[in-house]
Chains A and B, each alone.
Chain A
């Protein structure tokens, strides 16, 4: 499955792979973010699900979720933006100093727009996507709306988070592969159109900002956090590096940019989505921004040699630019995985498949087959005794395991089926029927 997700763009049965992807066990589903550089539409779906914009447990509600999201965005835009911006004649004095009067609100909104525009004018100017005037106008509107409904707050950097969310939405929608619009399992993908970009981007930005905003709003805490990373976390994880940084007497100012922008300026823009996969994964997993601290340490470790050898000026020069702008996507993945390892996520929470793989490394194929056959037997029993869902889930898991464990999995699967006592007669026919039904959802297995 992972292999097919990795090569999704070239897959001839994209819709089937997608169905299996969204049907995966939740933990495995989000683990994919760390193992695979996903197709833009799949990435968008994974992000929306991670933040609960799409129902985490029930994909059948996604079309409804997306419809609701669109309606909410339309309402917000109308009531909070357009109505506020175009104040009609009212029988009142526009100069009356009422904080919440319509003219004052309009004035604040226009000031906010001007302030944001100053930053939008300078947004990733070397990138074609962000230089496009329509895209800039959309990003400006999204940033303004978000700031306006949050008490007109705006801090430099928020516009970059919004911009990258907008790009994720545009890419996800543009790469939509839907062909069978009538297929109920895929129906939600009909909402991934140009018309949906704004509300998808807005919801995504809002979700990410709900995690990140404390880094913008509370300077004292931000200062403390920067100190803790340099003086406590780094000391705990890499004492020599911590000592070297103290010896260089490095200011931690650059960490403001790293943390607030979720490291988006520290790598090439085209690599940001891959890096954010890990960040979104960590938000979903932990419900906090703690992973960012480990990312800082991992970034330091990536430049360990330069830090240990370089002088203050050389190091500060390195930090003032794009720190990992010179490394490719593999390197970025390694830095992110390194941060996960430092955080202990990889050690403690392996997926079921990973655990089984590890446990069966030195096991004979016949033993594995026997174990799998028992699993499938149990799955079929459950199915026949009325626990259809549980039974089918078990059979699908066996199929997934086989895919990972044995290259020629289709043949192996039939072997397993035979050894589980369904080798002939009506039993076999019924078993095959059930198994086929289960596997019709599983990409890579023909019916």
Chain B
């Protein structure tokens, strides 16, 4: 696993749940209204400061359809954290989470921090409730967040959580610095950093 100065994060989940949009929102603080489907993998990075120390977050964005496939090892290998995304407006993407978690546990780093993220909470047609998702997260012993890549809401919180948890994993005896990647409100949307 990488040191806390350099954190590899893999984004996984079904097709069109918003994996690329979450990474784009976090890295560039924008929402791309004309995205293309991810084929293979994409790499992005962002440098943040935690207690005046520089931390580089390397994000590997994967293709949703690569579920259960041998190539997925390339993405999960040595990832410190995995963001498992589903779409709160599409029940099947939530139901598939169990398979994803099984896959991650089988092929990913055993110590990797897994954060389950319900995306598109800005949408009116929500079908997956918070209670359902929280219950699954508790059963599977993974972290759980809800966010909107469109509005930017809570996107930074996901990465706050990851940086904190990776610190705990890597330095269990040391005092953990609380991480706050700030959310700033601009005219339209929340914004990271």
Contact = CB atoms under 8 A, between A and B. Distances in A.
B15 interface: yes
Contacts of B75: 253
Contacts of A119: 15-16, 37
A219 B69 contact: yes
Contacts of A317: 43-45
Nearest to A125: B34
A125 B60 CA distance: 23
A319 B39 contact: no
B65 A155 contact: yes
A14 B65 CA distance: 46
Contacts of A251: 41, 43, 60, 74
Contacts of B42: 254, 320
B35 A316 contact: no
Contacts of B13: none
Interface string B57-85: 01010011100011100110000000000
21 contacts: A118-B15, A122-B37, A155-B65, A156-B37, A219-B70, A220-B70, A222-B71, A251-B74, A253-B71, A255-B40, A256-B63, A256-B71, A257-B39, A257-B41, A260-B40, A316-B45, A317-B43, A317-B44, A317-B45, A319-B43, A320-B42
A254 B34 contact: no
A372 to B, nearest CB: 53
Contacts of B35: 122, 125
Interface string A245-267: 00000011111111011000100
Nearest to A156: B65
B157 to A, nearest CB: 25
Q: List 4 tightest A-B contacts by C-beta distance, closest first.
A: A256-B40, A125-B34, A257-B40, A253-B41
B124 interface: no
Given A119-B15, A253-B60, A316-B43, A219 B71 contact: yes
Contacts of B37: 118-119, 122-123, 156-157
B106 interface: no
Given A115-B15, A119-B15, A222-B71, A320 B36 contact: no
A126 interface: yes
Nearest to A314: B45
Interface residues of A, number: 33
A260 B39 contact: yes
B15 A256 contact: no
Nearest to B41: A253
A255 B60 CA distance: 14
Interface string A225-258: 0000000000000000000000000011111111
B39 A261 contact: yes
A223 interface: yes
Given A156-B38, A157-B37, 19 more contacts: A119-B16, A119-B37, A156-B15, A156-B63, A219-B70, A222-B71, A253-B40, A253-B41, A253-B43, A253-B60, A254-B41, A257-B39, A257-B41, A258-B40, A265-B36, A313-B56, A313-B58, A316-B43, A316-B45
A319 B39 CA distance: 13
Contacts of A222: 71
A156 B60 contact: no
Nearest to A220: B70
Nearest to B60: A253
Contacts of B74: 223, 251-253
A256 B38 CA distance: 11
A396 to B, nearest CB: 46
Interface in B14-28: 15-16
A156 B39 contact: yes
Nearest to A250: B43
A187 interface: no
A110 B47 CA distance: 44
Contacts of B39: 156-157, 160, 256-257, 260-261, 265
Interface in A74-123: 115, 118-119, 121-123
